[in-house]
Amino acid sequence: MTESTRTVIITGANSGLGLRCAQSLLASDPSWHVVLAVRDPKRGAAAVQELGAGARCTVMALDLASLSSVRGFIDDVPAAGLAPVHAVVCNAGVQLVSGAHTTADGYEMTFGVNHLGHFALVSGLLDTLTAPVRIVVVSSGTHDPARFTGMPHPRYTTAADLAQPPGELTSEEGRRRYTTSKLCNLLFTYELDRRLDHGSQGVTVNAFDPGLMPGSGLAGDYPPLQRLAWRYLLPALRVLPGVNSTRTSGRHLAALAADPRFDGVTGMYFEGNKPALSSTDSYKIDTARELWDTSERLLTHALK
């Protein structure tokens, strides 16, 4: 058996897109070891059994809704006896429509998990990664108001407003917070790439749109009838452009993390395995810097 010589960390790898990404990486190259960074280690262990590659997987606890958990994970990586970490896949995400939820640190849950937790994770891991490194951030086409997705258009005011928004949470507003968090994923990706000097330090950063994936876990907070439609009716739409199975999107995501044809590619947005333009707002440098600076302040405040 070939010994694993490099490690990839995948958040939310116990199900859906993250699990299929791990499966594809394990099947494509025996040199990869996969860290399943998951909130529930028991579910992570069940996922490892499904993958059937226990010797090439490590389950590590990571709750993106708790910045102390993120810090603990970052501290645990160097001591875990892993092969050098060459890739990080920021995949985990939530979409909440049934009421207001906050993280352990008091920040709005969708922003806290989809953006801030991953911001803290990547920022904290940078010094422990081994070049060449690939960072892939899972975004969504719903971030772009120019596309018809059936979702509310994102509404970015300031990062402080997103972290602690005023007003009540309606179902519509919950979905808007999701699309806005996916815009944050793009702003973060491009700003991180700029701060790392566009790959000159051996780290590439790209964003990924998996397309509409019926059967994924993002509809878990929807009302019962909508959950049933998401699980059983929408899979019939896979014949349409932009609608994918988690297996297909997982394969595309794994390729961005590992395939040699993407060596040196950075600061890009991919729809599946094809480069694309993201929304006009996602390229606003001043907005990206405001998001970055505010995110740093939020981390500092939470970890005092």
Residue 300: name the closest of 126, 292, 194 by CA: 292
Amino acid at 212: L
Q: Which residues are catalytic?
A: 178
| Structure tokens given for 134 | 């690939």
Overall size of the chain counted in residues? 304
| Structure tokens given for 211 | 């397309």
Distance CA 28, CA 304 (A): 43
